[in-house]
């Protein structure tokens, strides 16, 4: 499914909340938390190409700390899953991280979220740790993943 990725605007927050609430594995943030993230320009949304404007089918929230990027939440509408939306969102985040000279991208995911774990592993994320009993309802571990990004090689030419 071809999608268009763009920065979220405040008018997208109701759609973010709807998608968030229908997903068991989402972060389940409040309206205010999503408004804050959107105001900080840390949310990207996916829209199905050819659909009407503001028809959000997925989103990703990121946070940047120095040269490290964190994926805080990536969610796709239940009816749009397994169609490449999460792939497109993740590719856009990784491209942005590389463009901004990030050294790593990291995230955490429910241990039972096999589709998400396969997606991250497909992009060479590696398990880097666990937080035992981190998630509630049901109680389960958070699996930590990290992707090390290559820094551009700098060649210094000698004039000697």
Q: What is the pLDDT of residues 82-100, one digit of tens each?
A: 999 999 999 999 999 999 9
Q: What is the pLDDT of residues 102-111, one digit of tens each?
A: 999 999 999 9
H helices present in the chain, as ranges: 13-21, 31-39, 85-99, 114-122
Query: What is the model's pTM?
Result: 0.88
Instruction: Specify whether the CB–CB gap between 94 and 45 falls below 8 A.
Output: no
> In the chain, where are the structural domains located?
3-148
Residue range 3-148, CATH number: 3.40.630.30
């Amino acid at each position: 499914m071809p999608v268009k990725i763009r920065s979220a605007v405040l008018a997208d927050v109701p759609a973010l909340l709807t998608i968030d609430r229908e997903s068991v594995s989402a972060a389940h943030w409040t309206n205010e938390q999503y408004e804050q993230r959107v105001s900080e320009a840390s949310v990207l949304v996916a829209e199905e190409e050819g659909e009407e404007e503001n028809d959000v089918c997925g989103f990703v929230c990121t946070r940047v700390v120095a040269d490290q990027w964190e994926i805080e939440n990536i969610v796709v509408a239940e009816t749009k899953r397994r169609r490449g939306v999460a792939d497109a969102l993740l590719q856009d985040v990784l491209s942005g991280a590389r463009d901004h000279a990030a050294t790593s991208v990291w995230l955490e995911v429910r241990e039972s979220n096999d589709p998400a774990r396969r997606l991250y592993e497909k992009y060479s994320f590696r398990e880097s740790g666990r937080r035992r009993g981190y998630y509630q309802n049901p109680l389960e571990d958070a699996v930590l993943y990290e992707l090390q990004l290559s820094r551009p090689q700098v060649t210094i030419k000698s004039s000697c």
